[in-house]
Amino acid sequence: MGDSTQEVVLAADGRPLKQSLRRALMRQKMRAVMLVAPLLIFVIVTFIVPILSMLFRSVENDIVANTIPGTVIELSEWDGSTGEPPHEDVYRNLFIDLFKAEEAKQHTRLGSRLNYEQSGLSSLFRTTGRSLDGIGELWQDPLEDIDPAFEDGAFWYEMMSGSGGEGLLEQRRGLMAAMSGEEMTGDVGFVPSQQIVEMLPWTARAYTDFAIWAAIQDKDTVSEEDPWESVYGALGMDLTNPETISAINSYGGPGANALKAAAENIDQLPQEGFREAFVAEDDDWGSSDIWGTIKLYSPNMTPGYFLNSVDLQLTPEGIETKPANEQIYTKLFIRTLVMALIITASCIVLGYPVAWLLSNLPMRTSSLLMILVLLPFWTSLLVRTSAWKVLLQQQGVINEILVWLGFVNDADRLILMNNATGTVIAMTHILLPFMVLPLYSVMKTIPPSYQRAAKSLGATNWTAFWRVYFPQSVPGIGAGSILVFILAIGYYITPEIVGGTDGVFISNRIAYHISSSLNWGLAAALGSILLVVVLGLYWCYDKIVGIDNVKLGG
């Protein structure tokens, strides 16, 4: 009484009761987690992670910045609205970036990526890739005429190497790794000389790229290899800078004589810049359209794939709708939803009486019926679909019978497949067990006495069914509908085989982009939208019907 100290309840082992309770609960929880862990890990590793990484491709766009990094940075200062092509420095960077991308065979990948946005870019990158050597030789040939020392790989190595340029080496190594997707670790056997890096910045970059590639990828000794043509082009770039010329004149390190000779004879080098060289290979390089597209798609993330999958496109002027003759995806999404609803509805109409019969017939007959329901369920999907082909085609079984019975004329046989009708018929059949089974398991639990009671209270057969029996079977309809609808919305093989052109779903386009056009970004965007739509519908269903009302059994 009036005691302010709280009595701590102790457990048998002398610990506070609360603590040991918590510990016991903790142990139980841990045990539960351990029990589900194998499945959880399995699902995460084999299902969730791959799906998320695939979906991430729908916004991922680092290929542009990884393949032509210098160009992208330089291009960010260009104003596309003037209609003028970008500054010479952009073309210089493009030459150096593209040259190493060509060595790593990455430039065509970039071309294919940009071709999704503007056709013609794929061949532009491919043909330009082939002519890069030629552009480099525009500078290489006169340089070698001025001083034959430039022909010699060992001379270049001696001139370029030194100490202090580790920063540049590591920077270029990082860029090379990002571009090629390979590690690029290892000893290059070359460190740029700091003096050269400051005096000949372009040349140092190009030569370092060459050295990294030769040493790590080709496993060659850098000093024994002739440099890439891009190194000569880069020296040409440096020699247009008056400060470089004066620096060369006061330079006394390795290769000073050759450099001085080159600096004195710059009039023998091409007087045009790299813009002219690129435009000479292909006029398109001078078009601001091309550069606009490259600039637009240079960020690491892009909404482009998502816009494409709802028939919009990103242009330098903003988001626009695609031309009417290229709009396809919204139509396909709507068709997929509508047809999945039709299939679900026909499954309810056909499945409900069957399930009712199954649950009300005596055991022996109902087991036989059950086997009939399950038999097609156990048959291969492809076999069933092909069987429908035989039944539905114009010279097929159904048409033959109808003609024989005289219901239709031989001349106008029904067109039952290669259209939406075919898809609905075949898919309703294939998905029917998914409706019948949940319905059956719910109906099995409805006591027949309820209906008898209703009738004894004066209800007609219909009222007894509609007011008493049907409401109790709704959870089964709900479960069956969710199953059928969600399966139908992602169906692929059946529409492909019997759907013709107006019976195909959005999943057929996803498959096309995954395996045929290789536009995985677009496929991922379409897939993400489909996933969101399904989740959204599920949410609506939960709000309207309530997910608690869904019963898969008992």
At its nearest, how many Å lie between other proteins and the CB of residue 148? Answer: 31
Q: If binding is defined by CB under 8 A, does position 194 make contact with other proteins?
A: no
Asked if 331 touches other proteins (CB under 8 A), the answer is yes
* Position 218 contacts other proteins (CB under 8 A): no
What residues numbered 35-54 form the site for other proteins, per CB under 8 A?
Answer: none
User: Does 119 engage in binding with other proteins (CB under 8 A)?
Assistant: yes
Q: How many CB atoms lie within 10 A of CB 300?
A: 13
Closer by beta carbon to other proteins, 116 or else 210: 116
Q: Is 409 in the site for other proteins (CB under 8 A)?
A: no
Q: Does the footprint of other proteins cover residue 491 (CB under 8 A)?
A: no
**Smallest gap from residue 303 Cβ to other proteins (A):** 18
Residue 72 in tokens = 């992208």
Q: Given phi > 0 = left and psi -120 to 50 = alpha, else beta, which region is 259?
A: alpha
325 contacts other proteins (rule: CB under 8 A): yes
Q: How many whole angstroms separate alpha carbon 340 and alpha carbon 427?
A: 9
Q: Shortest approach of other proteins to residue 14 CB, angstroms?
A: 57
Q: Report residue 139: phi and psi, to 5°.
A: -100, -35
Contacts of 435 (CB under 8 A, 6+ apart): 344, 347, 348, 350, 351, 355, 480, 481, 483, 484
3-state secondary structure of 8: coil
Report the nearest approach of other proteins to the CB of residue 394 (Å).
6
- Which pair of tokens denotes residue 120? 């013609």
**Distance in Å, CB of 530 to other proteins, minimum:** 17
What gap in Å lies between CA 184 and CA 539, rounded to an integer? 48
What is the rounded distance in angstroms from the CA atom of residue 240 to the CA atom of residue 419?
66
Here's the x/- map for other proteins, 84-113, by CB under 8 A: it reads as --------------------xxx-xx--x-
Q: Among residues 82, 271, 380, 395, which is the contact residue for other proteins, using CB under 8 A?
A: 395
Site string for other proteins, 280-319 (x = CB under 8 A): ----------------------------------------
Selected from 78, 95, 116, 306, the binder of other proteins by CB under 8 A is 116
Judge whether 547 and 530 are in contact, CB under 8 Å: no
- Using only C-alpha atoms, the chain has a radius of gyration, in whole angstroms, of 36
Among positions 496, 498, 524, 528, the unique one binding other proteins when judged by CB under 8 A:
496
Contact predicate 105/87, CB 8 Å? no
Q: Which is nearer to other proteins, 104 or 552 (CB)?
A: 104
Contact 237, 202 (CB under 8 A): yes
- Whether 122 and 112 have beta carbons less than 8 Å apart is answered as yes
Shortest distance, position 395 Cβ to other proteins, whole Å? 5
| CA atoms of 386 and 262, how far apart (whole Å) | 74
Q: Considering beta carbons, is residue 124 or 489 the nearer one to other proteins? A: 124
Binding region for other proteins (CB under 8 A): 104-106, 108-109, 112, 115-116, 119-120, 122-123, 126, 325-328, 331-332, 393-396, 418, 496, 500-502, 509, 514-519
